A and B are shown apart, each in its own frame.
Chain A
Amino acid sequence: MTMIQALRSAMDEMLARDSNVVVYGEDVGYFGGVFRCTEGLQAKYGKNRVFDAPITESGIVGAGVGMAAYGLRPVVEVQFADYVYPALDQIMSEAARLRYRSAGDFTAPMVIRMPCGGGIYGGQTHSQSPEALFTHTCGIRTVMPSNPYDAKGMLIAAIENNDPVVFLEPKRLYNGPFDGHHDKPVVPWSKHALGEVPDGHYTVPLESAKVVREGKDVTVIAYGTMVYVAEAAAQETGVDAEILDLRSLWPLDLPSIVKSVQKTGRCVVVHEATKTSGFGAELLALVQEHCFYHLEAPIERVAGWDIPYPHAQEWSYFPGPGRVGEALKKVMEA
């Protein structure tokens, strides 16, 4: 399966298993989503379960909070993560805090799906990675898969979880893995082991990171598209990097990070989002707090520049394997 098919399969599975699951968003119903992630679901489950929504992100999320308070499990879509901002009040002030402020009386078991990330010539408003807004918000789970197998298992886990989950989908990975080499043809998921996705129900537990490449020299903490960029950088520099796909951004799998960095003694954090106050800053702080006496070199951070995502300068902005490779060599020289 592609990641698109895997996500659709997760929603199909959960719509079939749980009559409280409902799926809606802009163009999600009849048309099946602008990325085809919900294709055929309305025909299969009816307009009562899968439907089109007006163009109002705060309405989509806000109505979802009300539905969740009733007892449904809404899986709502924001067409691009770049367009989540009108819904931030509903996510941060409401969904995230409902359980806390009502002492558990009301809860918001909902999933907010949003395609994110760049590398597609999306320009300023089709490329952003706003994960730090959500990791900074108490009460929300923020997750991002990097392959079809994880995408399905994590989406099922997110739908079954009783906390509100922001589910970020790197649209650059929808049809195949991407290592940042934009000049080479993209290989589809059908030729990748992680494109093998079981048909039925399975989960990938939240708060679990995965070592995607074992190594002894340096730990690379990455997620989303950057997992493949880091793999390419390790391959091309010859640095024996251990690459950790974080998968769940917050709450996260701290023991896996600590175990790896204590083994390698070096760490590079990579993300597409802009650098300052990005999620990488939190990862750096955690590694510094928990692994200080094991560190052989300062922790490096490779991120998007602190500018709005540009159009023509896409590959100067996107932290590709060249920039990640330089960071790998730099920590090894220290």
Chain B
Amino acid sequence: MSKPKGPAKSASKGPGKGKLRLTVPEPSARPGEKTDFSFLKLSKAGEVARPAPDCAYEDTITLKDTLIRVLDEEHQAVGPWNPKASVDELRQGLRLMMLTRTFDSRLVIAQRQKKTSFYMQSLGEEAIGVGQAMSINQDDMCFTSYRQQNILITRGMPLVEMMNQIYSNTADPLKGRQLPIMYSSKKYGFFSISGNLGTQYVQAVGWAMASAIKQDTRISTAWIGDGATAEADFYTALVFAQVYNAPVILNVVNNQWAISTFQAIAGGTSATFAARGVGMGIASLRVDGNDYLAVLAASRWAAERARNNNGPTLIEWVSYRAGPHSTSDDPSKYRPADDWQRFPLGDPIVRLSKHLISLGAWSEQEHQSVQAELEAQVLAAQKEAEQNGTLISGEQRTAADMFDDVYEHMPAHLVAQRQQLGV
């Protein structure tokens, strides 16, 4: 009898280099250290070519690893992606970005004062939603995440109405049922925000398919963060968008962070998020999200492509989440405190204002006076909204509003439960 043998070795696979090990990506810096931003694939302003908006998706393959930028280091607009926007358009964009930031900072204070339970800023990401909202039609539908309040602001939803929702007060359009900032407004083409990440991405594609089925001219925009691209619905949406050539703009806002998790954990550093798009056969752009002119140019390109039945576009917006994830978050526990100051793409408001100053269409003085004016506007809206109640004042939507709208008509069991509560 021969000795029992161990498992046969596979000649073709060889011995390897020892034990296997698990890779768990880490950001280059933690609190007290300095982030090495060399992982960002950056391009010089004006350097990236601009294919025609009706190009084949293959013509965008190289764009997945470059960065479309218009504003150079001297704050001049250069290159083929220069949207050649008028001074008035740029001034309007700047004003809306400043309004968004002012609104955010005011509501963070309100949350600290316990007037509301919760808030989420978009500090540093103001250019993206404003620029895209300015590049599409008012009746195109936006399926956003919770960090595109600038789209509602751009589309003209009254600040008071937004605050009424945040305060869940007696005038809350969502009747106190939704967590603050989970806005919904058909009137302003802003789809109901859900807490469940990624779900709206495929819904946006369905909406666009419906528009195509009805031979309409409207398009939709889908919004997702870098972290949520790991959700299955992200890929589901890409498949549907490509298969049915849906008229949709698929936006990925890469702000580098998903709460405490660096975007490498979402798979973003080995291949760009734009690479997911071309990998699925979708025209894809990778754009400086803090360059308002690049946002305008790329959004117009994608909108034109969608509206002319040339299909969907995926846009990775490279930006940085400058503020805490939410009012429940403390970023100093997981990233360097000065990270935003060191982020190579800077602050979108500063960059656009310097560009306008270089054109002689803005000044430090005007900036200060517009800022003061916007603060007064937000404060006035806040005072008006607080007339309708806050968490502190206790004037809230009542339990009587709680049982409606579960179904179109209240079924018997809900009538009984409502009677049981005595409302």
Whether A103 and B184, one on each chain, are in contact in the complex, defined by CB atoms closer than 8 angstroms, is yes
Binary flags per residue of B193-217, CB closer than 8 Å to A gives 1, else 0: 0111001001111111111011000
Q: Which of B177, B191, B199, B405 contacts A90 (CB 8 A)?
A: B199
Binary flags per residue of A234-263, CB closer than 8 Å to B gives 1, else 0: 000000000000000001001000000000
With A58-B233, A70-B210, A100-B177 as given contacts, are A65 and B203 in contact (CB-CB < 8 Å)? yes
Chain A residue with Cβ nearest B176: A103
With A54-B240, A72-B213 as given contacts, are A67 and B207 in contact (CB-CB < 8 Å)? yes
Minimum distance in angstroms from A80 CB to a CB of chain B:
19
Chain A residue with Cβ nearest B213: A48
Contacts of A107 in B (CB 8 A): 408
| Alpha-carbon gap, A288 to B406, bound state (A) | 26
Q: Which of B174, B175, B185, B407 contacts A139 (CB 8 A)?
A: B407
Minimum distance in angstroms from A277 CB to a CB of chain B:
18
Whether A105 and B406, one on each chain, are in contact in the complex, defined by CB atoms closer than 8 angstroms, is no
Residue A124 at the chain B interface, CB threshold 8 Å? no
Contacts of B209 in A (CB 8 A): 63, 66-67
Whether A62 and B206, one on each chain, are in contact in the complex, defined by CB atoms closer than 8 angstroms, is yes
Residue A106 at the chain B interface, CB threshold 8 Å? yes
Contacts of A86 in B (CB 8 A): 232
Residue B29 at the chain A interface, CB threshold 8 Å? no
Whether B205 and A66, one on each chain, are in contact in the complex, defined by CB atoms closer than 8 angstroms, is yes
Whether A72 and B210, one on each chain, are in contact in the complex, defined by CB atoms closer than 8 angstroms, is yes
Chain A residue with Cβ nearest B172: A103
Which residues of B235-263 are within 8 A (CB) of A? 236-237, 239-240, 243
Contacts of B233 in A (CB 8 A): 58-59, 62, 89-90
Residue B31 at the chain A interface, CB threshold 8 Å? no
Q: Can you offer 23 A-B residue contacts whose CB atoms are under 8 A?
A: A54-B243, A56-B236, A56-B239, A59-B239, A59-B240, A62-B202, A66-B208, A66-B209, A69-B207, A86-B232, A89-B199, A93-B195, A94-B196, A94-B203, A100-B177, A101-B184, A103-B177, A105-B184, A107-B408, A139-B406, A162-B408, A207-B411, A251-B411
Chain A residue with Cβ nearest B175: A103
| Alpha-carbon gap, A71 to B210, bound state (A) | 8
With A62-B236, A69-B207 as given contacts, are A251 and B413 in contact (CB-CB < 8 Å)? yes
Contacts of A59 in B (CB 8 A): 202, 233, 236-237, 239-240
Whether B205 and A103, one on each chain, are in contact in the complex, defined by CB atoms closer than 8 angstroms, is no
Contacts of B214 in A (CB 8 A): 70-72
| Alpha-carbon gap, A121 to B220, bound state (A) | 45
Residue A172 at the chain B interface, CB threshold 8 Å? no
| Alpha-carbon gap, A106 to B239, bound state (A) | 25
Residue B35 at the chain A interface, CB threshold 8 Å? no
Residue B314 at the chain A interface, CB threshold 8 Å? no
Whether B406 and A99, one on each chain, are in contact in the complex, defined by CB atoms closer than 8 angstroms, is yes
Whether B203 and A89, one on each chain, are in contact in the complex, defined by CB atoms closer than 8 angstroms, is no
Chain A residue with Cβ nearest B248: A66
Chain A residue with Cβ nearest B173: A103
Contacts of B220 in A (CB 8 A): 66
Whether B210 and A66, one on each chain, are in contact in the complex, defined by CB atoms closer than 8 angstroms, is yes
Minimum distance in angstroms from B400 CB to a CB of chain A:
14
Residue from the set B211, B239, B407 with the largest chain A CB neighbour count within 10 Å: B407
Minimum distance in angstroms from B397 CB to a CB of chain A:
10
With A103-B184, A163-B407 as given contacts, are A93 and B143 in contact (CB-CB < 8 Å)? no
Minimum distance in angstroms from B209 CB to a CB of chain A:
6
Residue A185 at the chain B interface, CB threshold 8 Å? no
Chain A residue with Cβ nearest B402: A100
Contacts of B195 in A (CB 8 A): 93
Residue B371 at the chain A interface, CB threshold 8 Å? no
Residue B192 at the chain A interface, CB threshold 8 Å? yes
Whether B412 and A251, one on each chain, are in contact in the complex, defined by CB atoms closer than 8 angstroms, is yes
Interface residues of chain B, those whose CB is within 8 Å of chain A, are 141, 143, 173-175, 177-178, 182, 184-186, 191-192, 194-196, 199, 202-211, 213-214, 220, 232-233, 236-237, 239-240, 243, 404-408, 411-413
Q: Which of B182, B191, B213, B239 contacts A22 (CB 8 A)?
A: B213
Whether B199 and A63, one on each chain, are in contact in the complex, defined by CB atoms closer than 8 angstroms, is no
Residue A64 at the chain B interface, CB threshold 8 Å? yes
| Alpha-carbon gap, A66 to B143, bound state (A) | 9
Whether A62 and B210, one on each chain, are in contact in the complex, defined by CB atoms closer than 8 angstroms, is no
Q: Which of B143, B208, B213, B232 contacts A58 (CB 8 A)?
A: B232
Which 5 A-B residue pairs are closest in the complex by CB-CB distance? Answer: A66-B206, A63-B206, A66-B203, A62-B202, A70-B210
Whether B186 and A66, one on each chain, are in contact in the complex, defined by CB atoms closer than 8 angstroms, is no
Whether A106 and B186, one on each chain, are in contact in the complex, defined by CB atoms closer than 8 angstroms, is yes
Contacts of A93 in B (CB 8 A): 194-196, 199
Whether A101 and B194, one on each chain, are in contact in the complex, defined by CB atoms closer than 8 angstroms, is yes
With A72-B210, A103-B173 as given contacts, are A94 and B194 in contact (CB-CB < 8 Å)? yes
| Alpha-carbon gap, A22 to B184, bound state (A) | 26
Chain A residue with Cβ nearest B410: A251
Binary flags per residue of A192-222, CB closer than 8 Å to B gives 1, else 0: 0000000000000001000000000000000
Contacts of A141 in B (CB 8 A): 407
Contacts of A62 in B (CB 8 A): 199, 202-203, 206, 233, 236-237
Residue from the set A22, A64, A69, A106 with the largest chain B CB neighbour count within 10 Å: A69
Residue A120 at the chain B interface, CB threshold 8 Å? no
Residue A102 at the chain B interface, CB threshold 8 Å? yes
Which residues of A82-128 are within 8 A (CB) of B? 86, 89-90, 93-94, 97-107
Which residues of A40-65 are within 8 A (CB) of B? 48-49, 54, 56, 58-59, 62-65
Chain B residue with Cβ nearest A48: B213
Whether B413 and A254, one on each chain, are in contact in the complex, defined by CB atoms closer than 8 angstroms, is yes
Q: Which of A48, A64, A97 contacts B206 (CB 8 A)?
A: A64
Whether A99 and B199, one on each chain, are in contact in the complex, defined by CB atoms closer than 8 angstroms, is no
Contacts of A102 in B (CB 8 A): 174, 184, 186, 192
Beyond A62-B203, A66-B202, A66-B207, list 15 extra A-B contacts (CB 8 Å): A56-B236, A62-B233, A63-B240, A66-B204, A66-B209, A69-B141, A94-B196, A100-B406, A101-B174, A101-B178, A105-B185, A106-B192, A139-B407, A163-B408, A254-B412
| Alpha-carbon gap, A45 to B163, bound state (A) | 47
Chain B residue with Cβ nearest A255: B412
| Alpha-carbon gap, A19 to B242, bound state (A) | 25
Contacts of B182 in A (CB 8 A): 101
Contacts of A67 in B (CB 8 A): 206-207, 209-210, 213
Contacts of B184 in A (CB 8 A): 101-103, 105-106
Contacts of B207 in A (CB 8 A): 66-67, 69-70
Whether A103 and B206, one on each chain, are in contact in the complex, defined by CB atoms closer than 8 angstroms, is no
Whether A99 and B405, one on each chain, are in contact in the complex, defined by CB atoms closer than 8 angstroms, is yes
Contacts of B175 in A (CB 8 A): 103
| Alpha-carbon gap, A22 to B210, bound state (A) | 9
Residue A138 at the chain B interface, CB threshold 8 Å? yes
| Alpha-carbon gap, A70 to B192, bound state (A) | 12
Minimum distance in angstroms from A109 CB to a CB of chain B:
9
